[in-house]
Structure 1
Amino acid sequence: MSDILRTYPDSILKIRAREVKDFRGVGELTERMLKVMLLNNGIGLAANQIGVSSQVFVIKLEEEDESIRIVNPVIVEASGEDGLEEGCLSVPNTYVEIIRSGSLLIRGFDPDGREVEHKLEGLKARVAQHEMDHLNGIMIVDYLPKREKLRFMIEYEELMKEGKTISESKKGDARDL
């Protein structure tokens, strides 16, 4: 496991993360994830964003908020729709309008393996869906219309030829999930 944030097109970001069956070390994993997320000014992070193929994500919107740590998450209920531009720590300075449910009921486990249920609204619901996309190998660029995605990929290829990455050419901001 690494404290290095994985960025597009790292292959671990494109595959479905594995279900957690052994909870030993999951608490430490979520602590490391929160550290990486906060160091990068994020508000959510999936385990595969630091190179760990495990169904785990963390959310922390505000400094005074308690963090949400969910293992093997499943959306039980979803309602309402809301469109908003999203960014992503793994695809710096790329923003995509995505329609998501405004309210969720998620079941899963805490880092100690105890069953938990979270009712999430608004931004927390959006962040949870964004992180669950990561756990399923879906990135925000996958929501781009075909032409825009092609343009993104061409820009990325040009940066690679120059020996740069997207993160070196652009700085993220607090909208990055």
Structure 2
Amino acid sequence: MAKLPIVMHPADVLEKPCEKVSAFDKELIKLLKDMHETMLEADGVGLAAPQVGISKRVAVVDIGDEFGRIELINPKIIEKRGEQTGPEGCLSFPGLYGEVKRADYVKVHAYNRRGKPFTIEADEFLARALQHEIDHLDGILFTSKVLRYYENDELEEVEG
């Protein structure tokens, strides 16, 4: 496995919708493993392929809960409800945090590394992380949804 370089904003790949994955092969499995390792080394909870310069609908999420590593290929939100507002950051925007409003519950349809479809239901923080990464695959950055940015003295609480 190799740590991949994280693409920083501004970069065109971050703001363009990604292509669907059609080949579920060894190359995809290597990408998923490398993305997960990169995310963990960067102390993130999610990473989308465009953040490593690859315009494919691939993301990994791991918030350290019972779900563990979630690999999402060609994910699509099929249901959402409720509302939550909370802090978000992004590995492509180091040190920048803002308050973002998102659905409190989501149901996501995606494919695993072997091309088998699955559905995951999530609420609270996991729902937030899934929505953030799927936005990346649609070329949408969290900065376009920020209600307010956190000041430096607030960052310690957010990063804490």
Q: Which band: TM-score by shorter chain?
A: 0.7 to 0.9
3-state DSSP of counterpart to 1:85:
strand
Residue 92 (str. 1) matches residue 97 (str. 2): no
Which residue pairs with 2:19 in the alignment?
18
CA distance in 2, matches of 1:120, 1:41: 21
Whole-Å separation in 1 of the counterparts to 2:111 and 2:66: 23
2:68 aligned to which of 58, 66, 69: 66
Deviation at 1:143, TM superposition (A): 2.2
Contact 1:48 1:54 in 2 (8 A): yes
3-state SS, counterpart of residue 72 of structure 2: strand
Q: Secondary structure at the match of 1:126?
A: helix
> Which sections of structure 2, spanning at least 5 residues, go unmatched?
150-154
Alpha carbons 2:61, 2:69 under 8 Å: kept: yes
Q: Which moved more, 1:88-97 or 1:56-65?
A: 56-65
Contact 2:76–2:110 (CA<8 Å) still a contact in 1? Answer: yes
Q: Tell me, in whole angstroms, the C-alpha distance in 1 between the residues paired with 2:86 and 2:16.
A: 25
Query: Partner of 1:161 in structure 2?
Result: none
- Find the aligned partners of 2:35 and 2:65 in 1 and give their Cα distance: 15
Q: Is the 8 A contact 1:86 1:95 kept in 2?
A: yes
Counterpart of 1:112? 114
Q: CA–CA distance in 1 between the matches of 2:113 and 2:123?
A: 22
Amino acid at match of 1:20: V
Identity value in percent: 30
User: Structure 1's 127 and 63: CA in aligned 2 closer, same or farther, altered over 3 A?
Assistant: closer
For 1:27 and 1:66, the matched residues in 2 are separated by: 17
Cα distance in 2, alignment partners of residues 60 and 75 from structure 1 = 18
* Alignment of 1:128 onto 2:133: no
Superposition TM-score, scaled by structure 2 size: 0.86
Counterpart in the other structure of 1:158: none
Amino acid at match of 2:28: V
Structure 2 SS opposite 1:78: strand
Tell me which protein shows more strand as a share of its residues. Answer: 2
| Secondary structure in 2 matching 1:112 | coil
What's the TM-score, normalizing by structure 1?
0.78
Displacement of 1:144 = 4.0
Mapping of residues 159-170 of structure 1, within 5 Å:
none
Bigger mean CA deviation after superposition, 112-121 or 57-66: 57-66
Amino acid at match of 1:44: G
State yes or no: 1:139 paired with 2:141.
yes
Q: Name the CA shift for 1:2/1:39 in 2 (closer, same or farther; >3 Å).
A: closer
Q: Compared with structure 1, are the counterparts of its residues 11 and 2 closer, same or farther at alpha carbon in structure 2 (3 Å cutoff)?
A: farther
Instruction: Please identify the structure whose Cα radius of gyration is greater.
Output: 1
